[in-house]
Amino acid sequence: MVGNKVDLSVRLGDLTLDNPVIPASGTFGFGREFAPLYDIKKLGSISFKGTTKEERFGNPCPRIAETASGMLNAVGLQNPGVDAVIRDELPFLEKYYAKPVIANVSGFSEAGYVETVEKLSAQPIVGIIELNISCPNVHGGGMSFGTDPDLAASLTRAVKKVSQKPVYVKLSPNVTDIVEIALACEEAGADGLSLINTFMGMRIDIHRRKPVLANRTGGLSGPAIFPLALRMVWDVYEACKIPIIGMGGVSSAEDVVEMMLAGATAVQVGAANLINPWASSDIIDRLPGVLADLGVDKLEDLVGLAHHE
């Protein structure tokens, strides 16, 4: 190694990213709020806000609750709908980001998923479809696909038939055995896996004696879930052969390295972006120093390394 020169690039199938750091869907919008703060082109990719066939207002307020070392959210997939995303949001990303992005797709029926995937996968800037079958904050559809291996496999096969881009299935941790779901998606043709989504949780206001969230439950994210996410990435890497995008409580360059050692090829940063808008940028800036301290000159060499040491 010469100085601090390290290779941060990673490959997700045929797609090469400059670095593995990706803002997670729902924590970065479509990049508009972050572009004035720093050059978002430095990001490895962007998983933009979860998109459904039709416009959604989302859940009633309050939607956010604080927890120790984390937060609960029950936003409920608020988004303008796929046609508006293509018309109004992707041109912005093409201008200010101009590298392949990840289209996070949600739905409430197989037909809804298929139509949304078909439209988004045809867009030149979209490099990967992230099939969200794991959102715990909506009623009907959503997570029901992610908790049943047969439903997960069926949906994966359906969207693979229409998608022009690789399909990564985003998995729920709210299951007995996440490996079973991962294997079902792999066998159905998934090109990769994203894990994990948030854990279902709740808080109660002791003064009102009612749940804090209007939705009653929400998804727990933040540093509290990092060890749980890391274990699930480890287990899925042991069982599956397709690439993994790891996420769940990642908030530092060291967390990125841990995720990659467990088996992730790329890493998404979620709740940290809501606490510190520069979080993803800061992590990228700190990665070369962390790798230099570890004596590593090629970041991708770390993927799954802890399984073989």
User: Residue 11's beta-bridge partner residues?
Assistant: 16
Q: Residue 36's CB: how many other CB atoms inside 10 A?
A: 9
Are 290 and 6 spatial neighbours (Cβ–Cβ below 8 Å)? no
Q: What is the DSSP letter of 85?
A: I
Give the whole-angstrom CA distance, residue 28 versus residue 44. Answer: 14
E strand spans, 36-100: 47-51, 64-67, 70-73
Catalytic residue among 61, 135, 185, 240: 135
Q: Which amino acid is at 308?
A: H
Note the Cα 230 to chain centre separation in Å. 14
Those residues with Cβ within 8 angstroms of residue 288's Cβ, 6 or more apart along the chain or in another chain? 4, 5, 6, 8
Listed residue (268, 261, 269, 265) closest to 294, CA to CA: 261
Burial of 86 (0-12, 13-18, 19+ CB in 10 A): middle
Burial of 35 (0-12, 13-18, 19+ CB in 10 A): middle
- Number of H helices and E strands in the chain, helices first, is 10, 16
Total length of the chain: 309
Listed residue (9, 14, 13, 89) closest to 44, CA to CA: 9
Give the whole-angstrom CA distance, residue 108 versus residue 88. Answer: 23
Residue 240 annotated to the active site = no
> What are the structure tokens assigned to 160, written together?
């693979």
Q: Which sequence positions are flagged as catalytic?
A: 135
